[in-house]
Amino acid sequence: AKCVDIALSSCTDVAYTQTMYPNLLDQKSREVIEYSSEYILISVLHNLLQGECNPDLRLLGCSVLAPQCEKDKVIKPCRHVCENLKKNCLPAFDAIDMAWPYFLDCDRFFAGEEEGCFDPLAKLRGEVEVEEDLPSDLPATFIQFKHHSYSQMVSTLKKTASKCSHIATTYSIGRSFEGKDLFVIEFSTKPGHHELLKPEFKYIGNMHGNEVVGKELLIYLAQYLCSEYLLGNPRIQTLINNTRIHLLPSLNPDGYELAAEEGAGYNGWVIGRQTAQNLDLNRNFPDLTSEAYRRAGIRGARLDHIPIPQSYWWGK
pLDDT tens digits for 5-17? 998 988 988 989 9
| Mean of the per-residue pLDDT values of the chain | 88
Question: What residues have CB less than 8 Å from 278, skipping those under 6 apart?
Answer: none
| Burial bucket for residue 288 (CB in 10 Å: 0-12, 13-18, 19+) | middle
Question: Given a cut of 60, is residue 131 above it in pLDDT?
Answer: no
Q: Please, what's the b/e burial string for 300-313 (b: 16 or more CB within 10 A of its CB; e: otherwise)?
A: eeeeeeeeeeeeee
Q: Is 315 helix (H, G, I), strand (E, B) or coil?
A: coil
Which helix (DSSP H) or strand (DSSP E) does residue 312 occupy? Answer: helix 310-313
Question: Given a cut of 90, is residue 215 above it in pLDDT?
Answer: yes
pLDDT for position 157 = 93
Give the whole-angstrom CA distance, residue 56 versus residue 46.
10
Give the whole-angstrom CA distance, residue 225 versus residue 223.
6
CA 169 to the chain's CA centroid: 17
Report whether CATH 1.10.2000.10 matches the domain 4-122.
yes
Question: Given a cut of 80, is residue 93 above it in pLDDT?
Answer: yes
Question: Given a cut of 80, is residue 130 above it in pLDDT?
Answer: no
Question: Given a cut of 70, is residue 132 above it in pLDDT?
Answer: no
pTM for the full model? 0.64
Which helix (DSSP H) or strand (DSSP E) does residue 202 occupy? Answer: strand 200-204
Give me the mean pLDDT over the 239-267 stretch.
Answer: 88
pLDDT tens digits for 58-81? 999 999 999 999 999 999 999 999
Give the whole-angstrom CA distance, residue 144 versus residue 159.
14
pLDDT tens digits for 155-183? 899 989 999 999 999 999 988 988 888 99
Give me the mean pLDDT over the 95-122 stretch.
Answer: 92
pLDDT for position 179 = 84
pLDDT tens digits for 176-206? 988 888 999 999 999 999 999 999 999 999 9
Could you tell me if 33 and 65 are in contact, meaning their C-beta atoms sit under 8 angstroms apart?
Answer: yes
Question: Given a cut of 60, is residue 128 above it in pLDDT?
Answer: no
Domain(s) of CATH 3.40.630.10: residues in the chain: 150-262
Give me the mean pLDDT over the 247-263 stretch.
Answer: 90
Confidence of residue 301 (pLDDT cuts 50, 70, 90): confident
Domain(s) of CATH 1.10.2000.10: residues in the chain: 4-122
What percentage of the chain reaches a pLDDT higher than 70?
92
pLDDT for position 48 = 85
Measuring CA to CA, which residue among 170, 173, 81 is closest to residue 123?
81
Question: Given a cut of 70, is residue 253 above it in pLDDT?
Answer: yes
Main-chain dihedrals φ then ψ at residue 78, nearest 5 degrees:
-75, 135
Give me the mean pLDDT over the 78-104 stretch.
Answer: 91
What percentage of the chain reaches a pLDDT higher than 90?
53
Give me the mean pLDDT over the 123-147 stretch.
Answer: 65
pLDDT for position 75 = 94
CA 20 vs CA 5, 63, 215, 316: distances in Å? 8, 11, 39, 41
Question: Given a cut of 80, is residue 308 above it in pLDDT?
Answer: no
Question: Given a cut of 90, is residue 247 above it in pLDDT?
Answer: yes
Give the whole-angstrom CA distance, residue 149 versus residue 270.
19
Question: What residues have CB less than 8 Å from 72, skipping those under 6 apart?
Answer: 1, 2, 3, 20
Report whether CATH 3.40.630.10 matches the domain 150-262.
yes
Give the whole-angstrom CA distance, residue 200 versus residue 55.
33
> Going by DSSP bridges, is the β-strand pair 200-204/73-75 parallel, antiparallel, or unpaired?
unpaired
